[in-house]
Amino acid sequence: MSTITQNPAPLFTASDTTYRFARWGRPLAPVVFGVGDDSLPHLKEAIAQTVGITGGVLAETDPELGANFMWFFCRSWSELAAVPNLDKLLPNFNRLMTSLEEQGASRYRSFGFDKEGAVQLCIVLIRVDAATEEMSLQTLGTSETFQSLLTWSEGAFADESPIAIIKSNNLCIVKPEYAAIVRAAYDPMLPAATEDPSHALRLSARASKLVQDIEDGA
């Protein structure tokens, strides 16, 4: 049995040892800016397939926000200053852009939450650098969407990537043990948001059973 499913607590434990978990409380309604029309369908297909891990499907629109899963592609962080109202969606926008520039970052993700603590908004910023250009849209879409499904801790994937590439067809997939964690996290019997560490035990029990059922059926 995977150590990931046996002990998922580190995936949601912050550096200050606080357990922080949240999942989406509504269907994801994506919109993508900065990608050509030819590439957009491939990216949205990867997003839809990855969201499928939760047991849900994408929505055309969010009744409150219109779009709630927003992707912005740029060549340099300074380009985003021209995006209307983006500074209203991202707190301390100018400071954030300066920080990303100084760090040489190529990715940034910001979550917004409803009054129950569930995710209601996610903004993904992607600076297209040499490494990004070499990555397939399917890989990019799978990886970034997976990391947007839950509020993972900053060091959740420091030692191991949650995705894998199938060598025979070069397609990207979420590793089964990580997919099991996500599927278990969206069990309606579990809370949409919590800071109770015992949540990890309930998550482990469900994820372990999902993996065992897959292995038994193989």
Give 113-143 pLDDT, tens digit per residue: 999 999 999 999 999 998 888 888 999 999 9
Mean pLDDT of 152-162: 93
pLDDT interval class at 217 (50, 70, 90): low
8 Å CB contact between 34 and 73: yes
Confidence (pTM): 0.94
Kindly provide the b/e burial profile for residues 154-166, where b requires at least 16 CB atoms within 10 angstroms of the residue's own CB. eebbeeeebbeee
Q: How many CA atoms lie within 13 A of 182 on its CB side?
A: 24
Instruction: Record the tokens describing residue 64, joined without a space.
Output: 């409150």
- CA torsion 198-202-203-205 (nearest 10°) is 130
Distance CA 81, CA 93 (A): 9
Mean pLDDT of 4-18: 95
